[in-house]
Amino acid sequence: MFRSPRTYRVQRADREPLVRFMRDALEGEGCRIIYCSEPDQAPFIITFETRSGERMGVVAYAFLATRTPTKNRPTDERSFQVKYGSKLADNVHDIWQDPLGLYTTIFLGISPEDGHFVAVDPEMHNPTKFFIRIEYKDSQAEQIRKAGWHAWERSRVGREDQPIEVLVGGTSEHLLDLIRFERAAQGLDPGNRQLLAQKRGLFTGAPTTPSEAEAVEEIASHPLTKELDLGSDDILDLIATARRLKMAVRGWVAERHLADVLKRTPGITHCERIDDEGAPDLRVRLKDGPFLTIECKNVLRETDRLGVPRLDFQRTRASKSDPCSRYYAPTDFNILAACLHAVTESWEFKYIQPSRLAEHRKCPGKLNNNVRVDDAWTANPVPVLEAAAMTRL
């Protein structure tokens, strides 16, 4: 038995415009509404059939986005308040995700007046506190108006120690795109979430490319299809619809590519994935030296103003009793590998020893979370492995 979403009573008159915006947006794209929950209970649930006959469902944590001047806040700021229930210090809410993958969860602010929405990553806000405020700028609203669809990094002014967050905005005719996007993006790191958002053809049903067709043929001949007694399409459907399985596979993709790169590197005699919770990603050995561990992290989509890739180097969650547990220590692994895919769109990596990274300014013994993949890093893993091996001797 699966647990249904926790619900809240809300003011019908306040929330009805939000539900109407979503209904009208879907119907405007040729969808037939099969079921829509009443606007006096949140989150809102809509089941619909697309123009092509695909049946989909959405669980929407939707809030009113406004442009209300606020004292001591920037004059060009818009926002929406995330609030259900009472304002208590421990008032946290688990954002519901369908374990069967039939319903897609979206978490967004809606401006019916301006005809647009701004969505946050539901997984990054799971659980979420009440009340919190999500801000965005007039310039971003204008970009949404002009392009219809826009993705950007949320400003971290005043919250520099918080994880990087990617927001996605769109006009009403792109609400169906948002639902498909969140279905495809669940569990992605911020860099690849933004990369995917900027390539709408990957989640809106664009034709399969020849290279993708070749990959499917390769999967069809894989021994796993015989071991599981499932066809290649069945296995891919299983990954796509099983939330935890899909998130796990995505988490392993960069590690798999890194392992492939290292295994092709002359001098590396051992390379294996470490499949332990909280452990580094890979264990490697250079020639007959000591075994070394590698942590692999994806860079963000946006570079700094000089074009240098950036790394948001911290864990997604921190212990309530120890906020510094969010950050890594230099002794947690021997080498840090940055995957540049979100920037270069190819599986390239750069390497550095953690001892060469700056210390966190508030958490002694921890590494700074705002990292630049600059000239201190190298694309050749061998010198970094050699230096790390020397510290182990």
Q: pLDDT per residue over 211-264, tens digit each?
A: 444 444 444 455 555 555 666 677 667 666 665 556 566 667 899 999 999 999
* pLDDT surpasses 50 at 157: yes
Q: Name which of 262, 88, 104 is nearest 182 in CA terms.
A: 104
Domains (ranges, CATH) in the chain? 8-202 (no CATH), 210-241 (no CATH), 251-392 (3.40.1350.10)
User: Quick one: which of 302, 10, 367 has its CA closest to 161?
Assistant: 367
For residue 131, cis peptide bond before it (omega within 30 degrees of 0): yes
Which pTM was predicted?
Answer: 0.82
**The predicted structure's pLDDT at residue 135:** 94
Q: Give the residue among 206, 153, 141 at the shortest CA–CA distance from 177.
A: 206
Q: What is the mean pLDDT of residues 79-102?
A: 83
* Contact indicator for 148, 129 with CB cutoff of 8 Å: no
Structure confidence by residue, pLDDT tens digits, 105-118? 999 999 999 999 99
Strands 77-82 and 291-298: unpaired
Give the integer Cα–Cα distance in Å for 330 and 169: 38
The confidence band for 71, taking pLDDT boundaries of 50, 70 and 90, is confident
Which has the closest alpha carbon to 82: 127, 140, 19? 127
Residue 209 has pLDDT above 60, yes or no: no
Q: What is the pLDDT of residues 276-294, one digit of tens each?
A: 888 999 999 999 999 999 9
Q: Which of 63, 55, 164, 165 is nearest to 109 (CA)?
A: 63
Q: Is 368 exposed, middle or buried (0-12, 13-18, 19+ CB in 10 A)?
A: middle
For the chain, helix, strand, coil in percent to 5 are 30, 25, 40
pLDDT of residue 238: 64
